[in-house]
Structure 1
Amino acid sequence: MSTSLSLSKKRRKELDRLKAEAQLLLARQQEVLSHANSVAQEAGKQAQHLTREQVVPRVREGYASYVAPAAERAGDVVTHTIVPVLGSALGTALSIADVANDKRVKDAVKRLKQTGSKAVGKVPAKKKKSGIGTYIGIAVGVAALAGVAYAVWQTFRTDDELWVADDPGAPTAES
């Protein structure tokens, strides 16, 4: 079944007119998009210039004024406080290991094992109960750990007072 679509002259003229208007509209839209593209490219160039001339120097100045000194102070805390404490603890642990591996200590332990139950005045082993000293020691350790954590937090926290903006009306060194 083949039916052909026959249009009257009036309908054909209207369709041709609409087609011409649509093509004109499409051409105008392409012009607008082309102009918008060139405006966006120029805006990007200006943003790059602004960043290079204004933002980068301010970021560098802020880094040199605020971040670098804080990082230096943090490095000093690590170098002068944390590293010596860790070194001391490591040294103590290594010295205990050295003592345990000493030949005289090993010989003394062997002699004690050999005598076993023959030892005179041997005190029967008692279950060790946790006394007040244990709890005091734990409390002191927790307090020391909290102090170190607080010192590290104080070192690395951001201080809002450091980031107060300059008064725009105040005289500067340049004026």
Structure 2
Amino acid sequence: MSISRKRKKELRRLQNEANQLWENQQILVGHAADVAREAGRQLGNFGREQVGPAVQDTYNRRVVPVLDQGARLGRHVVDDKVVPIVGGVVGSALTAWDLANAKRSGLEKNVRTATKNVRKSVQPQKQGPGLGSVIAVILGVAAAVGVLYTAWQALRADDELWVADDPLSAPDA
């Protein structure tokens, strides 16, 4: 099919307009990319200059004191509650050990003979947890309680802790 000169001329004109529109769009997209790049840079500056210090200040005023209080409470529990109890248990155990050693040294010959006779007649019993296990469990429980209390203090429902008092507005240009 052949196209008339008039139609060819119209098609060339339409193609030129389409090419001109394409070039204009490319220029517009380039400007939009420049604006987006500058907006990102400004947003980074705003975050460093405004948001970062506000978050740091709120963290220092509200979160750090709660964590410090939890740590102090944990130290208090360990120093004033757990250590005296464990010390008393260890002291009692060492006293019993010393008494047993004193008795044993005086009756060592009789004990050896009796022990041989008892071993022959009695089967060994399964022993429970030792003193070290008891101390480790007590210290572990105390540490877990301190950590849980600290986490509870830090994460309790305190609306002012997580939400800013006033909404952020755009910086003045």
Q: TM-score, normalised by structure 1?
A: 0.54
Per the alignment, residue 30 of structure 1 pairs with 26
User: Using a 3 Å threshold, how does the CA distance of structure 1 residues 112 and 31 change in structure 2: closer, same or farther?
Assistant: farther
What is the SS of the residue equivalent to 1:68? helix
Q: What is the aligned residue count?
A: 139
Deviation at 1:41, TM superposition (A): 1.9
Matched residue type, 1:8: I
- Measured against aligned partners, the alpha-carbon deviations of 1:73-99 in whole angstroms (never above 9, x if no partner) come to 121122221476379559957x869x7
Identity of aligned residues (%): 30
Q: Which of 107, 115, 118 is the matching residue for 2:117? A: 115
- Measured against aligned partners, the alpha-carbon deviations of 1:80-130 in whole angstroms (never above 9, x if no partner) come to 21476379559957x869x78x9947x6975553122899xxxx99xxxxx
Matched residue type, 1:85: V
1 or 2, which has the higher helix percentage?
A: 2
User: Using a 3 Å threshold, how does the CA distance of structure 1 residues 25 and 59 change in structure 2: closer, same or farther?
Assistant: same
8 Å Cα contact 1:74/1:155 also seen in 2: yes
1:57 aligns with 2:53: yes
Give the Cα separation in 1 of the matches to 2:65 and 2:74. Answer: 14
Per the alignment, residue 41 of structure 1 pairs with 37
Q: TM-score, normalised by structure 2?
A: 0.54
Give the Cα separation in 2 of the matches to 1:167 and 1:12. Answer: 65
8 Å Cα contact 2:71/2:150 also seen in 1: no
Equivalent positions of 1:73-112 (< 5 A) are 73-82=69-78, 85=82, 89=86, 92=89, 104=101, 111-112=113-114
Structure possessing the higher relative contact order (Cα contacts under 8 Å, 6 or more residues apart): 2
Give 5+ residue unaligned stretches, structure 1: 1-5, 126-143, 169-175
1:155 aligns with 2:157: no
Give the Cα separation in 2 of the matches to 1:59 and 1:162. Answer: 13
- Measured against aligned partners, the alpha-carbon deviations of 1:134-156 in whole angstroms (never above 9, x if no partner) come to xxxxxxxxxx99xx487455434
Per the alignment, residue 17 of structure 1 pairs with 13
User: Using a 3 Å threshold, how does the CA distance of structure 1 residues 88 and 111 change in structure 2: closer, same or farther?
Assistant: farther
Give the CA RMSD over aligned residues: 4.7
